[in-house]
Amino acid sequence: KAGVTQTPRYLIKTRGQQVTLSCSPISGHRSVSWYQQTPGQGLQFLFEYFSETQRNKGNFPGRFSGRQFSNSRSEMNVSTLELGDSALYLCASSPGLAAVGDTQYFGPGTRLTVL
Amino acid sequence: AQTVTQSQPEMSVQEAETVTLSCTYDTSESDYYLFWYKQPPSRQMILVIRQEAYKQQNATENRFSVNFQKAAKSFSLKISDSQLGDAAMYFCAYLSRGATNKLIFGTGTLLAVQP
């Protein structure tokens, strides 16, 4: 099976712009989770989508949003970018059976730089 | 709220030797899952090993094994016969059993392998 793919791999934006990142999960996986990784804050959970519905959300401002399509592909959007949004954004997919403790498989990440 | 602590920011091991990475966590839950992920310089997060809290037997995967002490809330990773390719950042992560796939990560331990 193909792994989790994320596009684009690298992105440079300026403050105030918005950005959309994409994640394609492993075939058959219905859950997609997003994480932000920064040197200062480490790995932080953004949100999880399962069957096109947001199942959980981390402690991030409303500028961070996401969605999931019927084919389980997911996008996350960050509006009005700030310098502090510079980070590696990781997407993880899993079958979606959270009740039995899914193992999440990660994509290669999107490196976002905000100037 | 659950927390995960990795008290060793950096570790070093000689090739072919054994090293143990420490992880402690805090939770009031009785049923949960613990993971070790490896993040090499490529930044791709790779699953190393998984442990179900209800299983007393420690998980093993080839050269990787864990020492899971539920009462002490400790979950250490032992790497035997260390190889140069084991050099990476290692993250301990906690997952509640329930209706979400939110992983809670520790701050990581950077492992160097000396030839």
CA count, 13 A, side-chain hemisphere, A46? 27
Percent of all residues in chain B with a pLDDT value above 70, rounded to a whole number: 100
- The tokens for B10 are 């950096």
**Mean pLDDT of all residues in chain A?**
95
Query: For chain B, which residues lie within 8 Å of any Cβ of chain A, measuring from their own Cβ?
Result: 32-33, 35, 37, 42-47, 50, 52, 91, 95, 97-108
A 10 A CB-CB count for B50 gives 17
Chain A residues in contact with B107 by the CB 8 A cut-off are 42
CB contact under 8 A, A43 and B99: no
Q: For residue A50, what pLDDT band results from cuts at 50, 70 and 90?
A: very high
By CA distance, what is B49's nearest residue in A? A103
Residue A112 pLDDT more than 80?
Answer: yes
What integer is the mean pLDDT of B20-40? Answer: 95
A 10 A CB-CB count for A66 gives 22
CB contact under 8 A, B100 and A55: yes
CB contact under 8 A, A106 and B44: yes
Q: Which residues of B13-31 are buried (b: 16+ CB within 10 A; e: fewer)?
A: beeeeebebbbbbebeeee
- Give the pairing of strands B3-5 and B24-26: antiparallel
The CA distance from B73 to B55, in Å, is 14
Chain A residues in contact with B37 by the CB 8 A cut-off are 106
The CA distance from B56 to B54, in Å, is 6
- The tokens for A97 are 């059976």
Specify the pLDDT at position A102. 86
Specify the pLDDT at position B98. 78
3-state secondary structure of A83: helix
The amino acid at residue A92 is: A
Of the candidates A48, A90, A94, the beta carbon closest to that of B45 is on A90
Specify the pLDDT at position B101. 87
